Amino acid sequence: MTSPLEDLGYPLAFAVEAQADDGRDGQTLGYPDPELGQSHRTRVRSLGGMQKEALVTSSLSGTTWRLVSDEGEYLQGDDVAPAPLAHLTTGMISAFANEVLALARARDVTIHDLELVQDNYYTMNGSALRGTMTGGALPVELRVDVDTDVDDDETRKLVSDALTASPVFGLLDGEHESKFRLVHNGRDIPVGSPSELDGPALSDPKEAFEELPRDAAERDPPVIHRTGHETDPLPESDESYTSGEGSSLASDQDRVLHLRGTCTLCENGEKHVEVELFSPIGTVFEFRSDEPEGYGGQGRAPDAMTYVAAGIGFCFMTQMGRYADIVDADLSAYRIVQDTHFSSGVAGGDHEERGRMNPVETHAFVETAENADFARELLEMSEQTCFLHALAATDVGAPDVEFAE
């Protein structure tokens, strides 16, 4: 028996269109007017189980990338696509690499080789049934192995300045409370506890998925590759590190999630990222990332912030399905439209000292036999348990950096 993603039979990632006609708000696959330098509009729909499909449109290029997500046995998923947090780790580490390379060019520093190893940590504590379960985010750890033509002090300053100027630094710096609209069975209703977006909800993305051209073939090498092997457990793992079938569906939790991304440079200029899941243990996936033309790349793979936007959307959608499963409530279909705004970084000509972001804006569309009160409860608990909305709302600060000797 195959899963919905396998039934579709397409690559895990492909560009829907090389360039949108206009791409701005109002187009079928448009994006919002950039407020800080770059914006992404992310449309996500549930496919069944823990599988989701996203369309992410970038203002930098107008290109829309189709990406998919799944979960492993820890959420009783089919494990055929990367987890949401793997997309986020890929985007974050690729964004850091982009800025190191861009700032080196701006300062006339030659980089002979670059490898970044990034550890992301999240927490989940409390009871879903009592409404106390909360997702959290912890500081990022980053190991940098870089070979340049300048001395160690200048290299370290280059890396430090680049990390701070990166657009993804805005996700780590400060507290950004997300905003929401909620549509319950076709009717726009007040959201309740989370901060509410002004104005009406955007259009339901259902038609965008139904009309999606699906004539893509897998590229060689693939943009996203499922390696088929699991991450080996860390020897220092303790009781907060969990794994096993259905472990992440428990109604009461006190655990740590831990992912590691390793980013290296390909000969063609793309970034190659391998993501390992240490808690819960999961399958290793490999990603390719490339910035648009004019921003340090050639647009051959999703840009860093496209992966970031997809990760945030996928994670929130996972929490919606997970909560409905835990409380045994009907959730026939659910979709979101999510807008993210980040600064463009040195690679985009933005020489601000700190990367910036605006609050994530999410329009949720819920189809359910349950009443409007449940829809509001679903939205509240999904926001409360989403690791990446927590990351945006938590001032975790700059990464803790270690330089290789």
Query: Over the stretch 331-377, which tens digit does the pLDDT of each residue have?
Result: 999 999 999 999 998 888 777 789 999 999 999 999 999 999 999 99
The amino acid at residue 268 is N
**φ/ψ bin of 268: left (φ > 0), alpha (ψ from -120 to 50), beta (otherwise):** alpha
The per-residue pLDDT for 213 is: 75
Q: What is the CATH number of the domain that holds 239?
A: 3.30.300.20
Helices (H), 49-168: 84-106, 152-165
Distance CA 169, CA 257 (A): 21
Phi first, then psi, for residue 54 (nearest 5°) are -125, 150
**Distance between alpha carbon 178 and the CA centroid of its chain, in Å?**
15
Range of the domain at 245: 4-403
The per-residue pLDDT for 23 is: 43
In sequence order, what are the residues at sequence separation of 6 or more whose Cβ sits closer than 8 angstroms to the Cβ of residue 238?
A: none
Answer whether 53's CB lies under 8 Å from 11's CB: no
The per-residue pLDDT for 24 is: 44
Burial of 167 (0-12, 13-18, 19+ CB in 10 A): buried
Tell me the whole-structure pTM to 2 decimals.
0.96
Distances (CA, A) of 202 to 241, 284, 321: 39, 36, 21
List, in sequence order, every residue forming a beta bridge with 254; answer none if it has no partner. Answer: 125
The per-residue pLDDT for 350 is: 72
3-class SS of residue 13: strand
The per-residue pLDDT for 248 is: 86
Distance CA 276, CA 296 (A): 27
List, in sequence order, every residue forming a beta bridge with 335; answer none if it has no partner. Answer: 45, 365
How many other CB atoms are found less than 10 A from the CB of residue 139? 16
Distance CA 297, CA 301 (A): 9
Structure tokens at 7: 């039934």
* Total domains in the fold of the chain: 1
The per-residue pLDDT for 9 is: 84
Using 50 as the pLDDT threshold, list the residues of the chain that sit under it: 18-27
- Please report which helix (H) or strand (E) contains residue 209, including its range: helix 206-210
Answer whether 332's CB lies under 8 Å from 367's CB: yes
